[in-house]
């Protein structure tokens, strides 16, 4: 095979990787939306998390196994860290107390703050952007701007803390 032929093969593989990446991004977005749906339900009710996830999966059937796994990871992560996440969010949004925020905004922030602080696999920019899109789609008129501001504050504070820890 000539170098020219190898270049074409490489180009096709690269194109295939891009499609795979795009599909994974769509699946991850679906996972975040379903996780948000479950967190919203749990925030407003005393429902069991597993039952809420089961209902969400049934409502959106079929749900890919990878998406179900992501939803379980996000929901369990947010629930496990909620007592740590809520004060971080409250500190980043002092003008609007958590209990004064719309439930959808509060849970978008919890979901993204969890990713920012506890899931290093998700690039911060992606987490913030996805949260802003969820807030715009499901929240009020200014939810996207509010979400962006709060999450950028959380991210910047986290980066300052990491830099200080490295320096110290």
Classify residue 10: in a domain, yes or no. no
Q: Which domain holds residue 145?
A: 18-167
Burial class of residue 27 (count of CB atoms within 10 Å of its CB; 0-12, 13-18, 19+): middle
The structure tokens listed for 150 are 């709060």
Burial class of residue 86 (count of CB atoms within 10 Å of its CB; 0-12, 13-18, 19+): middle
State the sign of the Cα–Cα–Cα–Cα dihedral 47, 50, 51, 52: positive
pTM (two decimals): 0.86
Classify residue 163: in a domain, yes or no. yes
Classify residue 5: in a domain, yes or no. no
Classify residue 36: in a domain, yes or no. yes
Classify residue 81: in a domain, yes or no. yes
Number of domains in the chain: 1
High-pLDDT (> 70) share of the chain, %: 89
Model confidence at 6: pLDDT above 60: no
Classify residue 119: in a domain, yes or no. yes
Classify residue 120: in a domain, yes or no. yes
Band (2; pLDDT cuts 50, 70, 90): very low
- Tell me, what CATH number does 102's domain have? 1.10.940.10
Going from the C-alpha of 6 to that of each of 3, 17, 68, 165, the distances in angstroms are 5, 16, 38, 47
Classify residue 3: in a domain, yes or no. no
Q: Could you report the per-residue pLDDT of 79-125, keeping only the tens digit for each? A: 999 999 999 999 999 999 999 999 999 999 999 999 999 999 999 99
């Amino acid at each position: 095979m000539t170098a020219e032929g190898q270049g074409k093969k490489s180009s096709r593989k690269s194109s295939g990787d891009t499609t795979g990446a795009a599909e994974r991004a769509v699946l991850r977005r679906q996972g975040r939306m379903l996780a948000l749906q479950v967190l919203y339900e749990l925030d407003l009710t005393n429902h069991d998390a597993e039952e809420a996830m089961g209902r969400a999966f049934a409502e959106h059937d079929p749900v890919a196994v990878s998406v179900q796994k992501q939803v379980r990871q996000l929901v369990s992560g947010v629930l496990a860290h909620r007592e740590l996440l809520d004060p971080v969010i409250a500190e980043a949004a002092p003008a609007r107390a958590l209990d004064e925020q719309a439930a959808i905004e509060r849970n978008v922030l919890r979901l993204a703050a969890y990713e920012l602080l506890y899931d290093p696999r998700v690039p911060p920019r992606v987490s913030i952007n996805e949260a802003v899109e969820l807030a715009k789609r499901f929240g009020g008129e200014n939810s996207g701007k509010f979400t962006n501001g709060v999450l950028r504050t959380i991210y910047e504070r986290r980066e300052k803390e990491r830099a200080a820890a490295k320096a110290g």
